[in-house]
Amino acid sequence: MFSKTCEYAIRAIIYIYNKSNLCDCKVGIKEIATEIQSPEHFTAKILQVLSRQEIVSSVKGPNGGFYMSSAQGQIKLLDIVRAIDGPRVFMGCALGLSQCDESRPCPIHTEYKPIRDKMLTMLTNTNVESLATKLEEGSVFLVK
């Protein structure tokens, strides 16, 4: 449902918030990319976008890196998805048809619409902190 870029973005944000919360430290690109199993250069580009959107904070230099405040932990997953994939995930046709809507549905429109709506509700109601807490508790994981 999400692009690979968006998947990496969500993983990176959860990892950064968790690390910021645990040790009050900044995390470098190499560590983030390794921990979320993402190409380093690709991870850097994703985090630049998220930094411009103020979803994550960064400091340049030898002691620099990425970090998140407790306030940024309240950011909803929806904000991350919109920053990376835009609104198409919640409005587009599952088959990519340009004319799919209620009056002229594609073959899976009726089945897909409630799933898309449920996904939107989950993303709207889930914040970064809640997912990082699950990660810290060990009830979820970020890598294979």
Which CATH code is given to the segment(s) 4-137? 1.10.10.10
Which pLDDT value is given to residue 60? Answer: 93
Task: At 114, list the tokens.
Answer: 């409630």
The CA-CA-CA angle for residues 29, 30, 31, to 5°, reads 95
Amino acid identity for residue 32 in this structure: I
Beta bridge partners, 27, equal 66
Q: What is the value of pTM for the model shown?
A: 0.91
The helix/strand/coil state of 58 is: strand
Length of the chain: 144
Q: What is the distance in angstroms between the CA of the first residue and the CA of the last residue of the chain? A: 19
Structure confidence by residue, pLDDT tens digits, 35-76:
999 999 999 999 999 999 999 999 998 889 999 999 999 999
The domain locations on the chain are 4-137
